[in-house]
Amino acid sequence: MYYSKPIKVQPVKTQPFTDQKPGTSGLRKTVNHFKQSDYLQNFVQSIFNCLKPQLLGSTLVLGGDGRYYNRESIQVILRMASANGVAKVILGQGGILSTPAASHLIRKNQALGGIILSASHNPGGMNGDFGIKYNISNGGPAPEDFTDAVFEESKNISEYHIASIKGIPLDILGEYTLDKMKIEIIDAVDDYAELMISLFDFPKIRELINHHSFSLCFDAMYAVTGPYAKKILEQMLGAEEGSVIRGENLPNFGGFHPDPNLVHAKQLVEKMYDSEETGSAPNFGAASDGDGDRNMIMGDYFFVTPSDSLAIIAANAHLIPAYKKGLKGIGRSMPTSQAADRVAKKLGIPSYETPTGWKFFGNLLDDNRITLCGEESFGTGSDHVREKDGLWAVLCWLNILAERGQSVEDIVRQHWAEYGRNYYSRHDYENIPSKSANDLFTVLQRNLSTLKGRMFNNRTITTADNFSYTDPVDQSVSHNQGVRILFDDGARIIFRLSGTGTEGATLRLYFERYIRNVEQHDLETQEALYDLIETAELLANVIGYTGMHEPTVIT
């Protein structure tokens, strides 16, 4: 169907912004910030300028997590894509695509790349956050050299190109033509569901789910995974209707914070800890975030830490059809616990430690060095796409549960018994003044060289440094990726500043301690880590710099 006649495009003059530097995962700002005149346009044009000359005649994938300002932004980007010579845009219906689904579509259609509109786990709504990121042709987040180039471009931009047409339809499936550009509106879920069928043993999972004694609950947090989970878990795998809770994709995520952790996925957590005496909690619980790339896994009355989840999926991957031939290697971000390394060691495969952010796994996956990867921040994924993938992780667990016929808790406890337990926790101090955060790091950094060999609570520091990473594939180097304090017994304290927040600074402290002895696998996590938490305070004076006696979020 022809949507419009040829359109005359006049370049629009603009002034650069100085703050369009992408963070850990794209450019994230408040909605109000994005609504400034030309703010979105400048950033999109900066991306397009960095893609020339391949952009001309290319195919792009476009979609977002449905948060407030998604639809308006999609309209702008379509008009700009047309004016910049893009040949075709593959668009999720209604402008919706989960991040892993977008990654898959880029790969499947051999697109030049994709634009994903999301601030992920950040709150949505009129007064919430918005975000935009570019993914390259492998389906993964653009690497740093590209995002650095976009930032440079954004500081010098003087004009952008946009077709002068309004109100492109986004909701009806089919092919449209906007000037010379094709827009293909596709079902947001179909291709992704098909990919999942190709990876997992759906009949076996269906059998588990249909078993009268098994029940599950998936909390979509009013974000993008609602339609995906309803289709895959309820319609395709036969979970009872209502197993997916908060399954509508609302622009403000129902006013909640779509971050799947014990604090924000409260509805799910309440169900999973419901009346322990009667045992009425579902056997399996999970949640995903705003854009569908994160996952939280729970059993009845039991929480699985993301670091353990990665290790357990790795140790049991041979039970899943897609991975039955074995894994090539495992990647984890530096602050993620070392539990997965132990599995890699036992399997005789390499493990890689990367900086925080999925973009660092791309080269390792493309170069066939790793099959699985994960982050402590509720992200797990594999070589099936180039993003972390929330529902994929859920299906991994369901496939493993179906094969092993045990409860989530039993599987985790057996894993600890075999490998030992890595007690792990992250403490976040959110929205602190940037100056306080920078001062804390300046002093900590200055003291690093004096720390080696010093003893705290019977542990000796063996390494105190600021993590630098050299990509083994392209040799690119990323500095300043977090302060690491490593102890002689394998314990670690990591200090990092968040790169996804939109207000002030967020300080993250990560604690890890390994205990082999199975008799000590029942300690309360914060108690098990207490002496490390105390040491961190001595090393960095967190209370002094933040003025806060408690973290805002503990995961």
- Catalytic choice (46, 98, 103, 120): 120
Secondary structure class of 339 (helix, strand, coil)? helix
Size of residue set near ligand VG1 by CB under 6 A? 18
Secondary structure class of 330 (helix, strand, coil)? strand
Residue facing Co ion at closest CB distance = 120
Let me know: does 425 contact 306? Beta carbons within 8 Å.
Answer: no
Please tell me the distance from the alpha carbon of residue 119 to that of residue 505, in angstroms, as a whole number: 16
16 binds, among Co ion, ligand VG1, none (CB under 5 to 8 A by kind): none
Nearest to 274 by CA among 298, 244, 257, 309: 298
Please tell me the distance from the alpha carbon of residue 228 to that of residue 429, in angstroms, as a whole number: 33
What distance lies between CA 136 and its chain's CA centroid?
16
Secondary structure class of 144 (helix, strand, coil)? helix
Q: Is 478 a catalytic residue?
A: no
What distance lies between CA 429 and its chain's CA centroid?
20
Secondary structure class of 443 (helix, strand, coil)? helix
* Number of Cβ atoms within 10 Å of the Cβ of 475: 7
User: Residue 207 corresponds to which tokens in the numbers above?
Assistant: 């059998």
Among 153, 293, 300, 471, binds ligand VG1 (CB under 6 A): 293
How is residue 235 annotated by DSSP?
I
Determine if 498 is a binding residue for ligand VG1 (CB under 6 A).
Answer: yes
Least separation in angstroms between residue 388's CB and ligand VG1 is: 7
Residue facing ligand VG1 at closest CB distance = 120
Instruction: Kindly give the residue spans of alpha helices, DSSP state H, lying in 239-383.
Output: 266-272, 306-316, 339-347, 362-366
* H/E stretch holding 60: strand 59-64
- Considering only residues 156 through 215, tell me which ones interact with ligand VG1, judged by CB under 6 A: none
Please tell me the distance from the alpha carbon of residue 396 to that of residue 495, in angstroms, as a whole number: 31
Least separation in angstroms between residue 190's CB and ligand VG1 is: 23
Contact window for ligand VG1 (CB under 6 A) among 53-61, 89-97, 185-193, 352-360: 352-360
Per-residue string for binding with ligand VG1, 94-133, x by CB under 6 A?
Answer: --------------------------xx------------
Least separation in angstroms between residue 34's CB and ligand VG1 is: 16
Among 85, 254, 490, 499, binds ligand VG1 (CB under 6 A): 499
Least separation in angstroms between residue 290's CB and ligand VG1 is: 7
User: Residue 13 corresponds to which tokens in the numbers above?
Assistant: 């003059």
Determine if 332 is a binding residue for ligand VG1 (CB under 6 A).
Answer: no
Contact window for ligand VG1 (CB under 6 A) among 90-98, 459-467, 492-500, 542-550: 492-500
Determine if 389 is a binding residue for Co ion (CB under 5 A).
Answer: no
Amino acid at site 124: G
358 binds, among Co ion, ligand VG1, none (CB under 5 to 8 A by kind): ligand VG1
Among 65, 129, 219, 291, binds Co ion (CB under 5 A): 291
Active site residues: 120
Q: Write out the residues near Co ion by the rule CB under 5 A.
A: 120, 289, 291, 293-294
